[in-house]
A and B are shown apart, each in its own frame.
Chain A
Amino acid sequence: MSGQHPTRPEDFDLFALGALDADEKQAIETHVATCAECAQKLAEAQGRMAILAFAAPRVEPSSGVKEQLMRQLHATAEGPGGSLARKQREPANGTSSRWWAVLVPIASAFALATILLWLHNEQLTRQLTDLRETVQQQEQQLEESRHMVELMAARDTQVVSLAVQKGQPEGAARVVYNQREGMMMYDGALPPAPPNKSYQLWLVPMKGAPISAGVLITTNGTPSHMMMKLPEGVAAKAFAITLEPAGGMPQPTGPMVLVGPVS
């Protein structure tokens, strides 16, 4: 084994954080290369520090990134450039110049045909991918609808309408809750949250502190719905929507916007 075990357990976290200076970092790198126990501790520290990323404000990538990524996968598959490039690298093997006069136009025509075929194939592949995605989206919507219908049909499912509180902006929301399965569906239309704020939905249990059901996605007053999973078997006294700092809070801190008691 190279070197001593780090003297303090936090050394692994400081390494994962990137805070150690070069000499301290080198000592740990050398040691863990030959010490399985410390390598495991370092892997755990890497995970612990990695989740600090969740403190970053949520930023979704533009849809173009995924499209470019998928195009990049296709581009690396065998395309016309690869085979053409290989053909161009092949030696002439002493063929006389008059053969070139015949072969070059043929090769050019062949290359052009290959490119046209490849482009056509690309177009068909894109159409097929679009169709496949449409079918999958419809299947997903169907599956979600099926879940909703099952939830609504269950005898022990509760439907709770939430009422706007005095002084709060107009909005409407409804919660469908099944205590046995811990399944909840939110259905509502809320105005956009103010800058740096999020709407958060809470289950207020018969006993104990409110349980977060998640941060709501608002779409400028357009009705939206979300399925949520909560702990099973929690009896609800009420449901409430509060306005919290962006990303939500572990417990409600902001004003109640809508509330609905469970009858």
Chain B
Amino acid sequence: MSALGLARLLLRRDLALAWRQRGQVLLAIAFFVLTASLFPFAIGPDPNLLARLAPGILWVAALFAMVLSMERTFQADFEDGSLEQMVLAGLPLPILSLTKALVHWLSSGLLVTLASPVVALTFSLPPQLYLTLLASLALGSLSLSLLGTIAAALTLGARRGALLVPLIILPLSVPVLILGVMAVQAEALALSATPHLLLMGAFFLLLLPVASFATPAALRQALD
């Protein structure tokens, strides 16, 4: 079977797995909403202040919600040996890594993005910013999923992996965070969000080859 055919099978299988464990996926969304809703308690309910801080708060909450599920990306397949079987079946590691990143994005980044307008509503974010917020979260979370697969592969079989993944991911995700928040803030100041969104796209394209080198290199060491 061709590599792309195998990748399609893997995609279908992983999405089916995610669908059957939808409680776990929903847990990440609940975590996102909960983290964001802590801020009005912490900084007070002033609607103007909350509207100004909303992009940053939503972005940090989305980042945390995504980091939570990153560690599991390869874990189950590694432990029961199916990762090894996939490699033996002829699935090239770079394609496997990118497929896993796509599954992670579909089951966390995309859902967090779709849930964000509801939270933004409670922060009284001006309605004309919703589209930019959705675009910046969708684009940025793609990069985060790629970074997440690198970290997940690097920490495969490590002790305290749950603590290591955030330590690796959070410094590397700062550019995404800065650009994502700046895009929404630029729109709020009636400037154009396009340059920031373009830069986020460039960052994603830069990460594609980096992740398709680094994740396979890390997986190969884990499978040795």
| A-B interaction | no
Which residue numbers of A lie inside 8 Å of B, CB to CB? none
